[in-house]
Structure 1
Amino acid sequence: MWRISVRQLTQKQQRVGLRLQDSAVCKIWNCRQTSTSAAAAEPAAELSNSELADVGGWEFQSRRLSRSVSVASIGSAQILPSSRTSSLETSVFNTLDTALHSAVHLPLLASQSWLTQWLSDSGSDVLEHYGTGSKSTGQLSTRSVVGVKNFASAAAVEQVQDEDDEEKQFREEVPSSAVKIQPVKKKSKERYSELYERQMEIESKAWESAAAEYRELMLEMCKKNLAPNLPFVQSLVLGWFEPLKNAIEAEQKAVDHLDFRKHRAGYGPFMCQLPADMMAVITMHKFMGMLMTDLCTGGCVKVISAAANVGEAVEQEVGIYKLLRKKNKKKKGKKGAIKEDDPVEQVSAVIDGKIKDQVKKLIKQQKLRVAGKMVRHANGDEPWGSDIKVKVGSRLIEIMIDVATLQPPASQTEDDMGEMRPAFKHSMKTFPGLNNSGRKFGVIECDPLVVQELDKSVRHMVMPYMPMLVKPRRWTGYGSGGYLVLPSTVMRIHGAKQQREAIQKATKTSMQSVFEALDTLGSVPWKINTRILDVMEHIWKDGGRLAQMVDADNVLVPSRPCTEDEAEILRWKREAGRIKRINSERHSLRCDTELKLTVARKLRDEEQFYYPHNLDFRGRAYPLHPHLNHLGSDMCRGVLEFAQGLPLGPNGLRWLKIHLANVFAGGVDKLSFDGRVAFADEKMEEIFDSAERPLEGRRWWLEAEDPFQCLATCMAIRDALVSGNPEKFVCNLPVHQDGSCNGLQHYAALGRDQIGAEAVNLIAGEKPADVYTGIAVRVRAVIEKDAADDPRTNPNVEKAKLILGQVDRKLVKQTVMTSVYGVTFIGARNQILSRLKERGLPDEGEMYRASCYAAKVTIDALGQMFKEARCIMSWLGDCAKTVATQGEPVRWTTPFGLPVVQPYRKPGRKMVKTSLQVLALRDDASQPVAVARQKSAFPPNFVHSLDGSHMMMTAIACKRANINFAGVHDSFWTHAGTVDKMNDLLREKFVELYSQPILENLLNDFKRQFPKLEFPEVPRRGDLDLNDVLEAPYFFN
């Protein structure tokens, strides 16, 4: 179906054109008459039907038509949109040029080749297309309501199969220059079916498609000699593919050999459950992917991590592969035999034959238990154990090490080409900084040439868990929901058997609300903000460095000094080591940035996409896609927006201005709401300049703490104001409402703590209270006193003087945030040390001493300000210790019905011999509980389970109120036009949550589990009235 604009036709052509309206649906777009000279295209606002009565011009009636259409020349303008035409697609002809005379020139079908021309045209092209020099037509300029590319389209027409001679003559006579076409959206059912099929392809055939792409590229390279045009790492991987595939095929064929069975019987059959080319692609991509993440240290990946990741990826693909086989068999039963060239069935026959042979031999050897287990594995009825996964992964990595070689490019060597050398090698290495007493780990070392080029090859990596093109499956059980075929579990349990059993048991009783909340979060449609993405791409192409994007270049490492002075050499070593660490961090950040941009590029042309969510064991929700999601950095949040826009309404523009101040931060976010609005109004000139010329203008948006989110908000504010009617402006930007040190808010509500409630905005105030500033003031007072003291009696004088000028809100913020979650002195010291490093203090030794001192002062200040929270934390810890000393993990059920079991046990290991080395796998399940860890982790985990409950309760309430909702733990997002309603709901749900006797219920739960144990009584409560939260404007702000 196409939407077409036509400039001028004869009356006969008009008459025949009307007859081509078989089942047409008119789509009326905005077209405004200007002066006799062509005007530049500008944005135009939509007019409602009530506003059209005052506009002189034409009457257009748009209905489903059979063979005719009623179009009349009348003095008043009225448009009756089709019921199938959405409000976004329906615009207005305000005034038509008088030369168009007595009828709307309804479109004709043109060939699809015109689509490219239409999409590439600019506004000036369209004006020329309308014949600006013609005396009979005059001048006609166009303005688009919904997009720069949508010009002067009058109707959507379905092609008629039967054409009479008159119609054929009509098509021949109409000049092609008079016709432009644009695709019209397909019917919703057809569109959904198409998207569903694409999603199935993405999930089920990602590795298979990658293998096919390698094969095609190899053939193309051989024919056209394309290798020199490929990026270095991509050409390497492509060169490894064929040898690796052949080596895996040889391994699969060797399964039946006696020697193979003797040494590899434990994993041999599992090597045969996928085609060799798919296994090759999985091995290369998973390993190269690990080199781009924090699993990589100095170009090395631990064998245990690499083997487990590759083995797990193979197991997941085997599950998908078997699912496709089952579907093929069903088709075969219904429609006859599958095609002989079906690759799934061909390889499956080979795999089945090998497994059957293995099972027969095991039965002959009377190894019935092993044979039965193999059959269950082959049928997908039993998951692979960790030992099988690491054995398969190790063998595949070993094969890759054997076949992967590289030849340095000419620019890397003095000669024309360097000698071939291995790309990877297996070695043993000690990792500094780890508490392992000098223990060595098996690692796979990657050649430096590969490492330094990795970030340029991210876009070629396979990413299985991408955002979905259709809504995720509804959650109905532990492993049922989320992606269509990719393995998805409702909770990330990391092997904790008791937690999995608790979820499976609760699924039939108390989990329905949890499932509903996850379904709500997963059903929110998102899209890419292409204007922000274009800015990101421009900055990245120019080397980064702006808007907190990482520098594309490394810092030069200084040369070793030509001296024998040991002190100078030691300083050089420290400086060189520091720079190498910086470069290593930059490499990781470059890979991470490229991963995010790659996902955004893949999604930029999608109308909408979805993030399936699941939970951690405490009940906090996370998207399953790891790279580009709204829980990520400013870069992620800035480039994402809601796919479905909503009018701003009476308060939406105000909330956009408040949101601008919040993401700009720098203290502006701590003003009252009126103060934040005034800030935006004062900066309106900068807002417009940033929106219209983000890189060419004054770049005010770069001063923001969250620059990309600030730029997106500038664009939204500018667009709303330019529209002429901000209340009716349709906006897609998510607006955030964040809790005020949310952990302390939950503790204040638990203990009905009046003083704590005031500090964290549970009670109304003229402006928001800032607990971080309050702690910073206390810390500064102590440090100023120490700095003025006598160094002979006070050992902290020098440290106080060193850090005195550094104490501010930002220095203590992370420690305050995590204090209620049980942050230790070491944790606080590391947090403060990180802030000092960011400020570039020169001497690491001095920074370390200063951070130790500041951490102690900060923790003391927290203890003084939040005594009641500390009391509840101590009570929770004592209860946990009482339980854990009985050899049991702490378990509880959240107010939302989610069972939680703390997974902490003493570390256990089991030794698994693989083809590379003996690996020590973690095996904690059978070990005793770790009493100290159970105690220290319970207070923060319990509070996290409460903030997760509050978020999910709010999500469901918003869904029932028809409000778009996205949650980032203690930050709740919605449209600017629905912020007021969401604010009411989140406060109501907080009061509803804490109106329950949460601590009493927890104590009773413990007593039911352990009736013979004595537990301390619940701490005494304060006199806070929870209903005060309903009137607290800055509770979330």
Structure 2
Amino acid sequence: METLSTTALDRQIALEEQMLMVGRETFYRDIEKAKERGEEAGTPYGMRLLKNLVLPVSDALEAFIEKARSGGAGRRHTALKYVEMVEPEVAAYLALKTVLDSITRRETLQRCAIRVASALQDEVRMRAFRERHPERFKVTMSKIERATSRRYKTTVARLMAGRVGIDEDWPTSDKLHVGIKLIEVLREATGMVDIQRDTMGINDTQVFVVATEATLQWIADANQRMEFLSPAFLPTIIPPKRWTTPFDGGYHSGLVQRLPFVKTRNRNYLEELAGRDLSAVYAAVNAMQETPWQVNRDVLRVLKEAWDRDLKSPKLKLPPRDPLDLPPKPADIATNEVSRKEWKKAASLIHAANAKLKSKRVQIRKIIELAGQFSEYAEIYFPYQLDFRGRVYAVPMFLNPQGPDHAKALLTFARGKPIGDGVAAGWLAIHGANVYGYDKASLEDRISWVEERNALIASVAADPWGEGFEFWTEADKPWQFLAFCFEWAGFLREGFDYVSTLPVALDGSCNGLQHYSAALRDPVGGAAVNLVPSGKPQDIYARVAEVALGLVTAFVCPNGSTTGTIPNLSRLRKTWAEHGIDELDMANRWLAFGIDRKVTKRAVMTLPYGSTQYSCREFIEEAVREKVEEGKPNPFAVGDSDGIFKATLWLQPLVWQAIGEVVKAARVGMDWLKECARLAAAEGLPVIWQTPDGFLVQQSYRNSSARRIDTHLDGRVRLIIREELDTIDKRRQQQGVAPNWVHSMDATAMRMFINLALTNGMQHFALVHDSYGTVAADVELMGACLRKAFVQLYTDCDPLAEFRVDIAGMLSDDALGDLPEVPAKGTLDVSLVEESDFFFA
């Protein structure tokens, strides 16, 4: 690598200073906002105090209750009957949280005491509501569970409880006694606050709850320790420091806290890695870091204009610049209860939507701001880290090559290559068809699809707001397609001499299942995920959708017989009946809506990564809601309900069975991995394995000492009081091993590809786990290298057998006898991957 000039290094150091100061400013700005909202308990220092002090306060409350019950002398025992209405830890949590919410402000004792008692009163009210009217309670909680405002939650909860006669009206004098007693217990147990009397004038003495000097100093010290721990990580303007150990790569200055090569707090694990030969791993990550990028100014210009125009187009994924307006209040809202209820329901939906949109607005603004800042540089770079499975992640947030559609579109390689020939031009065209969504046709058809639209694509590049506007904004990935339009227009102008910088990506076909199918030599699964040559791409998501559709159709076929087709049908029918689902009616509604690959895709795609039947329903619901939001009619709606939950509850077991019919060997492999992890966990051992290129994976989910506190308006609060315990979390070890193993394999395959590509002269790497990208001129080479690396991973090595050896070396002799053999392999010839056009396409 060339020696860096002093000027370039100085500019980079200045940028890292900026990272540090921006992070510090954000840290304190967030604290000030929390103070303004009266929510200091949610600040970093507030959460630490809450976790550290809830047990001492709880213990002190138990002592107070025991003494008060004994009938001994004591002040304000009026509080006893109220405090006993909840568990001591709940009362302690509510008192602490309420006091902490205004810990650095002076608040009168009376006001603070009333707020503390009111929090306890709300908890008691909600418990009575749940006990006496469980169904209404469930409906109420569903209305407020996603709300971000505690005031809104409290108001709605009180209103709904009041409507069914749950009053819990405590006398103000009693609330004052209760609140003061809880504050006294908190003060004596923690020393966090004191009671201060200020004489304002004759007969005018006010009493305040104030943080002690020790508390304020602790908060100041904690803030000082934490203020520089969250720098706003940015791209670099010179190549990041190369990784040669787990401790020496990434950013250049000592100002920013050193990033470890692997994101972990386990120093012993990092030291273990330092003693291993990770040269192949470092080389691959360094190649990604040393790929120079630049901001695509053409895309930035259009994105800024779209944002400034507040462009409304669902496919563009741009949130509205301003919050959505609440519906107008009906004229008779004060007197018409039906109108009032309908308005409140509509307003509630708008409030929930605005809460979601707020974070999206922040993300878009930040991406545009960063792209504008870095557009002045000819070259920018991205430091990378690994997770414990070996997967590679860009360190900078928001703007990076692994981001969402608009973030990827804003980045292009800083150094391009001439297109050179028709093969490279074809790959550029295929990329355009892919990001548009025309990605299930043959490669030749994809090229033809683009060529038939040359004039339209050129018009988009000339004027994205002109006649081609509807065309590019209807793409699956519109911003990346817009970037393609600019690139293709350049090629049309200059021909094969055009220097192309656009990352051209090839994506794996359900990559997790590709790895399981190769490891187990599964011919059925391998064919379904394009491990073998075929004339057209195999679509496993569509295949699962077809099987699921057949199961649905069986419910409305003439003989109506589904027994024997669907396992546990009688149990399912009982569940459906409990939710008021008519199976024939629901089947017809699904046939009207349609079951396609989009409905089943996420459930299938996430199966190798630990997807469950529960998450399967959630993925189906997400897909249905997206379709409805894009304008597809909703046949499931009944009355005030959109009916989507019931619809997906009914369909989920059918999709799950369809997955089982199409994907068999992978489930066998996953169950085998779980059994290996179970045996290790039973002996208190982590699961440790080495990947074929030398990376050490350590899966060690530990139990933690925790106190779970259930409150109704704050949800289920899990307070970690101490550090992780030395004991293994057996359940998480079993659940995590199958997805973690396959992640470690896709990470290994990617690193092996990078090193093979480097030896063949490739220098451009745009990589996201199972999506590989480079310049058009090198796509042919990239495709050959990624196939060769994958074949070598499963022919030169036997990762499952090596995993078993690693586990066997850890187990005792007794447990070793129970360790199952590796599942039998099928007849798949993995070397055929090198001939499969659609393996990555």
* SS of residue paired to 1:737: strand
Partner residue, 2:12: 199
1:223-265 Cα offsets, whole Å, 9 max, x none, are: xxxxxxxxxxxxxxxxxxxxxxxxxxxxxxxxxxxxxxxxxxx
Deviation at 1:920, TM superposition (A): 3.7
* SS of residue paired to 2:735: helix
Q: Distance in 1 between matches of 2:395 and 2:498?
A: 33
* SS of residue paired to 2:606: helix
Structure-2 change in CA distance of 1:288 and 1:656 (3 Å) = farther
Partner residue, 1:545: 312
- From 765, 769, 778, the equivalent of 2:534 is 765
Structure-2 change in CA distance of 1:930 and 1:663 (3 Å) = same
Partner residue, 1:1008: 809
Partner residue, 1:701: 472
Deviation at 1:925, TM superposition (A): 2.0
Q: Distance in 2 between matches of 1:939 and 1:433?
A: 35
Partner residue, 1:520: 287
Partner residue, 2:299: 532
* SS of residue paired to 1:762: coil
- From 27, 31, 38, the equivalent of 1:283 is 27
Letter in 2 for 1:936: Q
Letter in 1 for 2:44: A
Aligned partners of 2:246 and 2:273 also within 8 Å? no
- From 393, 410, 424, the equivalent of 1:652 is 424
Deviation at 1:586, TM superposition (A): 1.3
Q: Distance in 1 between matches of 2:142 and 2:429?
A: 55
Q: TM-score, normalised by structure 2?
A: 0.70
1:554-608 Cα offsets, whole Å, 9 max, x none, are: 3322337626666665544433222211111111111111111111111111111
Structure-2 change in CA distance of 1:1005 and 1:304 (3 Å) = farther
Q: TM-score, normalised by structure 1?
A: 0.58
Which runs of structure 2 are paired with 1:83-102 in the superposition (5 Å)?
none
Q: Distance in 2 between matches of 1:630 and 1:309?
A: 34
- From 708, 732, 736, the equivalent of 2:501 is 732
- From 778, 781, 801, the equivalent of 1:978 is 778
Letter in 2 for 1:283: F
Partner residue, 2:839: 1035
1:1025 and 2:829 aligned: yes
Aligned partners of 1:689 and 1:697 also within 8 Å? yes
1:511 and 2:278 aligned: yes
Aligned partners of 2:774 and 2:782 also within 8 Å? yes
Aligned partners of 1:910 and 1:923 also within 8 Å? no
Partner residue, 1:29: none
Number of residue-to-residue matches in the alignment: 646
1:987 and 2:754 aligned: no
Q: Distance in 2 between matches of 1:477 and 1:698?
A: 51
Structure-2 change in CA distance of 1:856 and 1:924 (3 Å) = farther
Q: Distance in 2 between matches of 1:199 and 1:882?
A: 50
Which runs of structure 2 are paired with 1:803-818 in the superposition (5 Å)?
803-804=590-591, 805-818=593-606
1:467 and 2:235 aligned: yes
Partner residue, 1:145: none
Based on CA coordinates, which of the two structures has the bigger radius of gyration?
A: 1
Aligned partners of 1:909 and 1:923 also within 8 Å? yes
Q: Distance in 2 between matches of 1:585 and 1:849?
A: 24
Structure with greater helix share of residues? 2
Aligned partners of 1:829 and 1:852 also within 8 Å? yes
Deviation at 1:488, TM superposition (A): 3.8
Q: Distance in 1 between matches of 2:34 and 2:740?
A: 29
Partner residue, 1:833: 621
* SS of residue paired to 2:683: coil
Aligned partners of 1:887 and 1:929 also within 8 Å? yes
Aligned partners of 2:20 and 2:231 also within 8 Å? no
Alignment RMSD? 3.9
Structure-2 change in CA distance of 1:728 and 1:833 (3 Å) = same
* SS of residue paired to 1:857: helix
Q: Distance in 1 between matches of 2:467 and 2:105?
A: 54
- From 664, 667, 670, the equivalent of 1:870 is 667
Which runs of structure 2 are paired with 1:740-751 in the superposition (5 Å)?
740-751=509-520
Q: Distance in 2 between matches of 1:199 and 1:503?
A: 27
Q: Distance in 2 between matches of 1:542 and 1:791?
A: 54
Q: Distance in 1 between matches of 2:308 and 2:621?
A: 33
* SS of residue paired to 2:531: coil
Which runs of structure 2 are paired with 1:555-570 in the superposition (5 Å)?
555-558=324-327, 559=329, 562=333, 569-570=340-341
Partner residue, 1:796: 583
Partner residue, 1:901: 698
* SS of residue paired to 2:725: coil
Q: Distance in 2 between matches of 1:464 and 1:597?
A: 15
Aligned partners of 2:389 and 2:744 also within 8 Å? yes
1:574 and 2:334 aligned: no
Q: Distance in 2 between matches of 1:876 and 1:612?
A: 33
Aligned partners of 2:284 and 2:755 also within 8 Å? yes
Partner residue, 1:306: 44
Higher mean alpha-carbon deviation, 829-838 vs 614-623, is at 829-838
1:45-94 Cα offsets, whole Å, 9 max, x none, are: xxxxxxxxxxxxxxxxxxxxxxxxxxxxxxxxxxxxxxxxxxxxxxxxxx
Structure-2 change in CA distance of 1:205 and 1:637 (3 Å) = closer
Letter in 2 for 1:1001: E
Deviation at 1:492, TM superposition (A): 5.2
* SS of residue paired to 1:888: coil
Aligned partners of 1:300 and 1:445 also within 8 Å? no
Q: Distance in 2 between matches of 1:288 and 1:753?
A: 58
1:523-550 Cα offsets, whole Å, 9 max, x none, are: 1111000011000010000013242212
- From 374, 378, 388, the equivalent of 1:607 is 378
Structure-2 change in CA distance of 1:848 and 1:505 (3 Å) = same
Q: Distance in 2 between matches of 1:818 and 1:192?
A: 47
Letter in 1 for 2:725: S
Letter in 2 for 1:478: P
Letter in 1 for 2:833: V
Aligned partners of 1:520 and 1:955 also within 8 Å? yes
Structure-2 change in CA distance of 1:568 and 1:958 (3 Å) = same
Q: Distance in 1 between matches of 2:292 and 2:644?
A: 46
Aligned partners of 2:703 and 2:724 also within 8 Å? no
Aligned partners of 1:286 and 1:310 also within 8 Å? no
Which runs of structure 2 are paired with 1:172-191 in the superposition (5 Å)?
none
Deviation at 1:729, TM superposition (A): 1.2
Partner residue, 1:663: 435
Aligned partners of 1:491 and 1:617 also within 8 Å? no
Structure-2 change in CA distance of 1:706 and 1:523 (3 Å) = same
Partner residue, 2:202: none
Partner residue, 1:997: 798
Q: Distance in 2 between matches of 1:653 and 1:603?
A: 29
Deviation at 1:503, TM superposition (A): 2.9
Aligned partners of 2:506 and 2:773 also within 8 Å? yes
Deviation at 1:800, TM superposition (A): 1.8
Letter in 1 for 2:241: R
Partner residue, 1:940: 739
Structure-2 change in CA distance of 1:899 and 1:922 (3 Å) = farther
Which runs of structure 2 are paired with 1:231-630 in the superposition (5 Å)?
281=25, 283-285=27-29, 287=31, 303=41, 306-307=44-45, 402=105, 464-484=232-252, 485=254, 486-491=256-261, 493=263, 495=265, 497=266, 500-546=267-313, 547-558=316-327, 559=329, 562=333, 569-630=340-401
- From 525, 528, 531, the equivalent of 1:756 is 525
* SS of residue paired to 1:1003: helix
Structure-2 change in CA distance of 1:564 and 1:444 (3 Å) = closer
Q: Distance in 2 between matches of 1:440 and 1:929?
A: 32
Q: Distance in 2 between matches of 1:202 and 1:587?
A: 28
Higher RCO (C-alpha 8 Å, min separation 6)? 2
Q: Distance in 1 between matches of 2:379 and 2:236?
A: 9
Letter in 2 for 1:938: V
Q: Distance in 2 between matches of 1:1019 and 1:691?
A: 54
Partner residue, 2:53: none
